[in-house]
């Protein structure tokens, strides 16, 4: 991935302060399925981080246990992006 392009996209996303504009931008940038999957992934890691069981998360979000595994693995990286954001929210 070209770092220059990645940095540009991150700057654009970081500069959008209005939630409605954020939603419009993500709706234009992603397919409806991609957007939905990102939203679900965030809910998975938030619930895992707060101690909700994988079975309960699957029930809450109407997804399979297999989808939760990736989020669970990502939370093992204590310096990873999910943990950085979730630990700031405390």
88 — pLDDT class (breaks 50, 70, 90): confident
**pTM (two decimals):** 0.85
pLDDT over 90 (residue 9): yes
Predicted confidence (pLDDT) per residue in 55-81, tens digit: 999 999 999 999 999 889 999 999 999
pLDDT over 70 (residue 90): no
Question: Cα-atom radius of gyration of the chain, to the nearest Å?
Answer: 15
- Here the tokens at position 87 are 């630990």
Q: Are 45 and 71 in contact (CB under 8 A)?
A: yes
Give mean pLDDT, residues 14-38. 97
How far is the C-alpha of 77 from the C-alpha of 84, rounded, in Å? 10
DSSP 19-37: HHHHHHHHHHHS-HHHHHH
């Amino acid at each position: 991935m070209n770092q220059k392009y990645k940095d540009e996209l991150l700057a654009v996303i970081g500069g959008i302060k209005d939630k409605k504009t954020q939603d419009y931008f993500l709706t234009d940038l992603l397919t409806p399925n991609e957007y939905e999957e990102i939203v679900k992934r965030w809910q998975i890691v938030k619930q895992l981080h707060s101690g909700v069981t994988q079975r309960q998360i699957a029930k809450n979000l109407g997804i399979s246990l297999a989808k939760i595994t990736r989020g669970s693995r990502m939370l093992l990286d204590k310096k990873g992006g999910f943990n950085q954001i979730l630990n700031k929210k405390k």
